[in-house]
């Protein structure tokens, strides 16, 4: 018989395990209702935790360059998924399963189903609990991301109707299978949203993962200049330095090509009016290392897409009726549409329909109607819009009549005339506000009885035009610009509506002036920003009131050219760098009220100018070579309101019969004769002239810019005496003789503090004051924004600790340089200190230090710029030897350095 193996298992153990298993299964049923409630409570706590984490994420991401952590985003997604599961579990299944329970909840009519459901609830509770624990571990929810290879641009929200075009073009940009698509064109009528789309593409590279090395934005416009495009590209790729700027077009193209041929780039070109030759710029069309690079451009003309050899073109269309109404209602506002009168909402639909779906028209007219709260105003608007022609070639008969409604809504004819005048300037031209106002005065558009108020009126009108979106802010606060569509509209109004005969070819690339026959009968001529060298023809222009000839290459003007322009009021010859003299025939311009000769090499003003007895605005700034301004010439302009004579260079020889002879004492005496002067920028060259100047409350009150040069008759200047020049915005000092800028004693200091002296001063430039040792008085210039100190060989301190110690009242609660934006220090070999302590720079953007080898420390600590990014330029050696307040300060500013050659 074989061996028999037997295994003995105690019967009670088997029974015990069976009972335990059964008990656990029974628990899933008997505790089902409690478990469902527990799951609901746990899920509610998880949702609350999720909301707390999300609030922290939102707060963090509102800070610049902060992005939520991937693990945080993953957890938020899992919580969202779990919330959906729990809702389905509780709402869809729990009621049905609980209804199956019997015997007080201890048994089920379908034990298997109830068991499975109870087990699922228990497992879900564990998952929810785990998620809750994971969420509690998030001490940090976001991190700072590195700077992108693209500059994010401000933008309006994307219009609904543009989304599909955005998606189509983006697929061409982002998908690998679209690598063969190199050049993409966006075309459509002006104001339809092409620039808005291009801005969206630019910014989408900030938020969307991509493998592009750099994204470059360039505004091209009608005045196509390859050098400007090269300069912008060079700035983005780190090429644009002084040596590079002096290279030829071809050399610059080679430099750009060398860098871009090794990068995957996107070049965004806005507003093309003609073909841009990319090879002349240096943009590589295709290389093995930049496969996938793209060029995207916008244009009004489909022909440009062909000229640019675009692989794809997209038409940017007007909005549908529904989209247009939504945009229009958004611009008008709920307060007007809903809360003012019940009929207006329906009337608004009619106004929106008249806009033809053009976003620019919808936005402009929507803003104009924002506070029109009576049905009568809306009905009148509809009547005006319907009277305009319904057909147009391109921009002709839809855009301009609609935009004209915004023009018509301006409060008076004077403001409307000011707007039309802006169209005389070149497209995309940054227009100086002061120059614009001077022209308005010269034309007689601004002709106030109170001469002191005329400037304020000018700035007030500019504000109205800015707020009405008919002008835009320029590159700097003192400049404005006109959108090209608005400019076209203004020209259309002048020619088609006002029937004014004008000749405007500004920035047209002319090398010769239009034939004089075209001048006959015109009222305004603008030939600025061209390459015109000679004005030899002449004709009768009896109606001509404004003539813009600035920024040309004028060398010769026929003696008789001005002979037959008896109505001319405004003449701008500025920035003609080859114009050495004025023709005697200029004396025939007896109606002239504005004359601008600034930035010309004219050496002598002719006596014939005395005939210009109606002159109100005269600009002679930055005329480096001027030698002769005849005596009694300035004082003969008895109607003069604006005189600009700021910032001459020192001259070797000045004729004795010139008002500029000596230290400009004769000039000051003539200025005292000007009864109506209310704006003055002036250069003085002696302490005697300055004393006489400061003795006149009239001259002090109207001076905006003051240049002090030479001062060979004085070693010391009481700079606080200039505090009475209350509207002085710019001060320039250049003198090899001045040894001291005196501050005075405690009483004088207190007087300056009490009267808030220098509160208008925002720019100070001191140059070649080789004996000055400090500029301590600047502590009183609390609003200084731009500070330039150069070639002051003995300068040791900008603000002297010794001077402050002698007059403790000087500082008080002053915060020196609190509004400084730019600090430039060059060629100061003995400079050791800017300020004795670290300062709080709330607005500082740029610091440039060159050839200041003894400046070992900057007035900075880790709190100086409140984490604002600034740029510090200087030589590598100087930067390496710089001493810091502490390690934290050094770490904070090390990324700010930009190497600059001192050669």
CATH code, 413-497:
1.10.10
- Distance in angstroms (rounded) separating the CA atoms of residues 116 and 98: 13
In this predicted model, what pLDDT tens digit does every residue of 670-725 receive, in sequence order? Answer: 999 999 999 999 999 999 999 999 999 999 999 999 999 999 889 999 988 999 99
Are 233 and 252 within 8 A, CB to CB? no
User: Helices in 611-745 by DSSP H: which ranges?
Assistant: 665-671, 687-694, 697-702
The CATH code belonging to domain 501-602 is: 3.80.10.10
Quick one: tokens of 69?
């952590």
Task: Say what the pLDDT of residue 2 is.
Answer: 46
Task: State the Cα–Cα distance between residues 199 and 170, nearest whole angstrom.
Answer: 12
For the entire predicted model, the pTM comes to 0.64
Interval 870-899: pLDDT, tens: 999 999 999 999 999 899 899 889 999 999
State residue 192's pLDDT score.
Answer: 79
Whether domain 321-408 has CATH 1.10.40.30: the reply is no
pLDDT of res. 354: 72
Distance CA 765, CA 708 (A): 10
Query: How far is CA 895 from each of CA 234, 850, 872, rounded to the nearest angstrom?
Result: 21, 19, 9
pLDDT of residue 881: 92
CB 76 within 8 A of CB 50: yes
CA 422 to chain CA centroid, Å, is 20
Q: Which residues of the chain have pLDDT under 50?
A: 1-9, 11-23, 103-104, 147, 387-397
Q: Which fold has domain 160-315?
A: Rossmann fold (3.40.50)
Return d(Cα 242, Cα 724) in angstroms, integer: 40
pLDDT given at position 633: 95
Q: Is-contact 571 616, C-beta < 8 A? A: no
Strand spans (E) along 112-191: 142-144, 183-187
DSSP 178: G
Closest CA to 549 of 526, 515, 521, 580: 526
Q: What is the pLDDT of residues 10-43, one digit of tens each?
A: 544 433 433 344 445 556 665 666 777 787 888 8
Q: Which of 502, 312, 518 is nearest to 425 (CA)?
A: 502
pLDDT at residue 237 in the model: 84
Give dist(CA 892, CA 873) in Å, integer: 15
Per domain, the residue ranges of the chain are 11-144, 160-315, 321-408, 413-497, 501-602, 610-710, 715-736+745-903
Burial class (CB in 10 A: 0-12, 13-18, 19+), 388: middle
- How far is it, in rounded angstroms, from Cα 804 to Cα 815? 13
Would you state the pLDDT for residue 145?
61
The angle at the Cα of 313, spanning 308 to 314, to the nearest 5 degrees, equals 140
* Residue 389: C-alpha distances to residues 143, 318, 364, 376, 392 (Å): 57, 18, 18, 22, 8
CA–CA distance, 93 with 871 (Å, rounded to integer):
64
């Amino acid at each position: 018989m074989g061996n028999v193996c037997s295994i003995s298992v105690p019967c009670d153990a088997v029974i015990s395990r069976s009972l335990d298993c059964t008990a656990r299964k029974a628990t899933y049923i008997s505790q089902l209702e409690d478990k469902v409630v527990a799951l609901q409570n746990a899920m509610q706590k998880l949702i609350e935790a999720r909301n707390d984490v999300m609030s922290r994420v939102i707060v963090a991401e509102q800070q610049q360059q902060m992005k939520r952590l991937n693990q945080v985003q993953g957890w938020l997604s899992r919580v969202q998924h779990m919330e959906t599961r729990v809702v389905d579990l509780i709402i869809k299944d729990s009621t049905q399963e609980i209804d199956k329970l019997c015997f007080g909840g201890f048994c089920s009519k379908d034990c298997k189903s109830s068991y499975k459901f109870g087990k699922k609830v228990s497992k879900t509770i564990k998952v929810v609990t785990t998620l809750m624990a994971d969420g509690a571990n998030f001490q940090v929810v976001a991190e700072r991301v590195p700077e992108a290879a693209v500059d994010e641009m401000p933008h309006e929200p994307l219009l609904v109707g543009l989304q599909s075009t955005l998606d189509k073009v983006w697929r061409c940009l982002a998908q690998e299978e679209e690598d063969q698509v190199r050049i993409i064109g966006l075309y459509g009528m002006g104001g339809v949203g092409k620039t808005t789309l291009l801005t969206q593409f630019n910014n989408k590279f900030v938020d969307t993962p991509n493998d592009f090395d750099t994204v470059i934005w360039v505004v091209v416009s009608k005045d196509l200049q390859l050098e400007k495009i090269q300069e912008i590209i060079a700035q983005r790729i780190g090429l644009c330095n002084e040596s590079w700027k002096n290279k030829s077009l071809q050399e610059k193209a080679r430099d750009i090509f060398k860098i871009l041929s090794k990068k995957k780039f996107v070049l965004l070109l806005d507003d093309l009016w003609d073909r841009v030759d990319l090879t002349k710029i240096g943009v590589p069309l295709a290389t093995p290392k930049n496969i996938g690079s793209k060029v995207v451009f916008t244009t009004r003309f489909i022909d440009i897409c062909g000229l640019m050899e675009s692989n794809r073109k997209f038409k940017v269309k007007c909005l549908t009726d529904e989209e247009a109404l939504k945009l229009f209602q958004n611009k008008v506002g709920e307060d007007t549409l809903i809360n003012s009168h019940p009929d207006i909402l329906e009337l608004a639909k009619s106004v929106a329909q008249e806009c033809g779906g053009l976003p620019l028209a919808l936005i402009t007219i929507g803003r104009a109607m924002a506070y029109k709260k009576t049905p009568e105003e809306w009905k009148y608007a509809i009547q005006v819009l319907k009277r305009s022609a319904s057909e147009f070639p391109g921009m002709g008969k839809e855009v301009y009549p609609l935009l004209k409604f915004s023009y018509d809504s301006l409060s008076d004819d004077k403001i409307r005339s000011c707007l039309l005048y802006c169209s005389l300037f070149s497209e995309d031209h940054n227009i100086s506000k002061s120059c614009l106002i001077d022209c308005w005065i010269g034309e007689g558009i601004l002709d106030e009885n109170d001469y002191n108020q005329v400037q304020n009126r000018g700035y007030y009108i500019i504000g109205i035009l800015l707020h009405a979106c008919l002008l835009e802010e320029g590159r700097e606060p003192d400049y404005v610009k006109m959108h090209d569509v608005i400019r076209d509209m203004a020209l259309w109004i002048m020619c088609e509506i006002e029937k004014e005969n004008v000749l405007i070819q500004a920035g047209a690339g002319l090398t010769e002036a239009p034939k004089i026959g075209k001048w006959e009968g015109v009222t305004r001529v603008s030939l600025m920003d061209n390459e015109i060298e000679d004005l030899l023809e002449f004709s009768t222009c009896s109606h001509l009131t404004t003539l813009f000839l600035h920024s040309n290459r004028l060398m010769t003007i026929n003696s008789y050219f001005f002979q037959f322009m008896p109505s001319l009021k405004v003449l701008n010859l500025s920035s003609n760098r080859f114009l050495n003299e004025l023709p005697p025939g200029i004396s025939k311009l007896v109606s002239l009220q504005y004359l601008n000769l600034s930035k010309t090499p004219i050496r002598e003003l002719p006596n014939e100018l005395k005939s210009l007895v109606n002159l109100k605005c005269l600009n002679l700034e930055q005329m480096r070579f001027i030698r002769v301004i005849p005596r009694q010439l300035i004082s003969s302009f008895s109607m003069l309101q604006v005189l600009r004579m700021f910032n001459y260079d020192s001259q070797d020889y000045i004729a004795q019969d010139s008002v500029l002879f000596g230290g400009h004492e004769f000039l000051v005496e003539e200025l005292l004769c000007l009864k109506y002067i209310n704006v003055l920028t002036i250069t003085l060259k002696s302490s005697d002239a300055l004393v006489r100047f400061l003795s006149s409350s009239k001259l002090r009150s109207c001076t905006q810019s003051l240049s002090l040069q030479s001062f060979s008759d004085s070693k010391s200047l009481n700079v606080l005496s200039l505090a009475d020049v209350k509207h002085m915005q710019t001060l320039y000092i250049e003198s090899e003789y001045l040894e001291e800028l005196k501050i005075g004693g405690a009483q004088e200091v207190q007087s300056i503090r009490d009267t808030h002296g220098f509160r208008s001063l925002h720019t100070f430039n001191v140059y070649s004051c080789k004996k000055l040792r400090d500029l301590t008085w600047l502590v009183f210039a609390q609003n200084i924004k731009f500070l330039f100190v150069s070639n002051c060989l003995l300068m040791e301190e900008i603000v002297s600790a010794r001077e402050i110690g002698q007059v403790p009242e000087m500082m008080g609660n002053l915060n020196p340089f609190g509004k400084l934006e730019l600090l430039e220090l060059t060629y100061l070999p003995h400079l050791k200190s800017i300020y004795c302590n670290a300062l709080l720079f709330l607005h500082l953007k740029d610091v440039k230090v060159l050839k200041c080898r003894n400046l070992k420390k900057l007035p900075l600590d880790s709190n100086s710029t409140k984490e604002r990014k600034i740029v510090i330029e200087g030589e590598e050696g100087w930067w390496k030897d710089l001493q810091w307040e502490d390690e934290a300060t050094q770490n904070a500013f090390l990324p700010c350095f930009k190497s600059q050659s001192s050669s």
